[in-house]
Chains A and B, each alone.
Chain A
Amino acid sequence: MTDDTELTGAERAALDRWRVDAAAPPHIAQAVVDALKQRGLIASRRPRWAAATLAAAALLAAFVAGSFMPRSDRLSSREPQFVLLLYSGDDAASAPSRREEYTAWARTIAGRGTAISGLELVDSPDAPLSLPSDTTLPAAMPAQPRGFFVVRARDFAEARRIAETCPHLRHGGRIVLRRVAS
């Protein structure tokens, strides 16, 4: 590939912005299942209690798949992991909207087949716990991360592109990107 056909930052950003997953209409799943039943490829319906259990399992699987399944087992197992450390910004958006936004973003990333997970980091009531002694961090310490996401990506550049789409940046937050030691 010659340099003149590499995408510019603006072009890549435009394509990234366009990359928004859409949920399939729910009736399609049922139509497929009905068709497979007609062809005898799916067994007839089980008792009601069993159906409810299976539906719950399917919903659980949908959540897991929608949020965390890697692009492919073959590729993801070889891909390095990166941590997106999220530091607070000044923007005080309302909690409900921020919660939905971050969750939707993670699910969108996962929906594209990228393995992603995240956890919150919660301070003790007064201040973060520090070791080796049970003391509080001095006020002059740098800001502490409020949470993180872990993603699998082919390389640092791809991880950066993912991080650049994180809504945390739009709210004035900072993201520090680090590669996990393999």
Chain B
Amino acid sequence: MEPFDRAAALIKMPWPAVSDTELIRRFVDARDESAFRMLYARHTPAVYGLLRRLAGRAVSDADDALQEAWLRAAVNLAGFRGDSTFRTWLTGIALNCLRERRRRVQQVNADGDVDPLDVRTTRADRSLDVADVLETMSAMHRDVLVLHDVEGYTHEEISDVLGIEIGTSKSRLSRARQLFRERWRGAPAAKESRT
């Protein structure tokens, strides 16, 4: 038997799962812990992955934003109207939490007290990778680039989660790609990888 045969054996076809709507109803109506944990398990990998990519080396920012996002989401779940999917709604909350965290850190840094977890440097003697390049970009450009080109969000979804117009999302993406191209081209590692 080929190794792949055994590998694929671990991956079974999906079976019907309890819908988000049903889990939300059970959590809101019955304060059901298991329902909340299922929602958490279902959506956290994607949301946390996004937060980590946007937070860069400030891992604690992603951790804090994830925890705060779930708390806010749980508190406001009764008011979730389903205009967007739960995932999109939760992602929007998580991005707001991350932005608030960034603002607090920037304020602290502006006062001269550097948060050691948020030191973002691009040393000349170190090769730039994708994460390095993105960290040199402003949050508004980085967010749209990551959401669209890494996470696969549409401009409509980006509009929902960031609270911006679709046209704004498109123009920011265009500018973000230009910036990424300029800076990634300048990265020694990128040059080497293409030669």
The answer on A and B forming one complex is yes
Interface residues of A (CB under 8 A from B): 1-2, 5-8, 10-12, 14-25, 28-29, 31-33, 35-36, 39-43, 45-46, 54, 57-59, 61-62, 64-69, 71-75, 86, 88, 92-95, 98-103, 106, 111-115, 117-122, 146-147, 149, 154, 158, 168, 173
Contact assessment for B46 and A112 in the assembled complex, using a CB-CB cutoff below 8 Å: yes
Which residues of B, 72-120, contact A by the 8 Å Cβ criterion? 74-75, 84-85, 87-88
For B9, the chain A residues whose CB sits under 8 A away are: 120
Look across to chain A and name the residue whose beta carbon is closest to the beta carbon of B40.
A29
Interface centre among A6, A23, A95 (most CB of B within 10 A): A95
Cβ contact of A7, chosen from B1, B7, B27, B149, cutoff 8 A: B149
Residue from A16, A46, A58, A173 in contact with B41 in the complex, judged by beta carbons closer than 8 Å? A58
Nearest CB on B from A78, distance (A): 11
CB closest residue in chain B, given A25: B63
B38: nearest chain-A partner, CB-CB? A61
Q: Which residues of B contact A154 (CB under 8 A)?
A: 152
Choose among B10, B36, B38, B151 the residue that contacts A42 (Cβ–Cβ < 8 A): B36
Closest B residue to A29 using CB positions? B40
CA distance A71 to B152 in the complex (A): 9
One digit per residue, 1 when the CB lies within 8 angstroms of any chain A CB and 0 when it does not, for chain B 1-43 equals 1111111111111110111100000010011111011101111
Dominant secondary structure of chain B at its interface with chain A:
helix
Complex CA gap A6/B149 in Å reads: 10
A95 surroundings in chain B (CB, below 8 A)? 3, 6-7
Taking a contact as CB atoms under 8 Å apart, the answer to whether B88 and A99 are in contact is: no
Cβ of B150 under 8 Å from chain A: yes
Query: Which residues of the other chain, B, contact A158 by a CB distance below 8 angstroms?
Result: 152
A29 to B32, CA, bound (A): 15
Pairs across A and B, CB under 8 Å, 14 listed? A1-B170, A15-B149, A18-B130, A36-B36, A36-B74, A54-B37, A61-B42, A64-B42, A73-B20, A95-B7, A113-B151, A118-B11, A121-B5, A168-B4
- Is A120 within 8 A of B46, CB to CB? no
CB–CB A58/B177 < 8 A: no
CB distance from B82 to the nearest CB of A (A): 10
How many A-B residue pairs have C-beta atoms within 8 angstroms? Tell me: 213
In the complex where A5-B178, A21-B49, A31-B67 touch, is A66 in contact with B41 (Cβ < 8 A)? yes
Chain B: residues with Cβ within 8 Å of the partner, total of 69
Residues of B within 8 A of A57 (CB): 34, 38
Closest to A8 in B: B181
Separation in Å of the B10 CB from the closest CB of chain A? 5
Question: Is B123 an interface position by the 8 A CB rule?
Answer: no
Q: What separation, in Å, do the CA atoms of A12 and B130 have in the docked complex? A: 11
Q: In the bound complex, what is the Cα–Cα distance between A179 and B18 (angstroms)?
A: 28
- By a CB distance below 8 angstroms, the chain A residues around B30 are 43
Residue in B closest to A66 when the chains form the complex, CB atoms: B45
Chain B, residues 163-187, CB within 8 Å of chain A (1/0): the string is 0000000100110011011001000
Given the known inter-chain contacts A32-B40, A64-B17, please indicate yes or no for A86 contacting B130, CB distance below 8 A: no
Bound CA–CA A93/B7 (angstroms): 12
A94 to B10, CA, bound (A): 16
Q: What A residues does B33 contact at CB under 8 A? A: 33, 42-43, 45-46, 54
Knowing A41-B75, A42-B36, A99-B3, the reply to whether A111 touches B49 (Cβ < 8 A) is: yes
Kindly state the separation between the CA atoms of A35 and B33 in the bound complex, as whole angstroms.
Answer: 12
Q: Chain B's nearest CB lies how many Å from the CB of A28?
A: 5
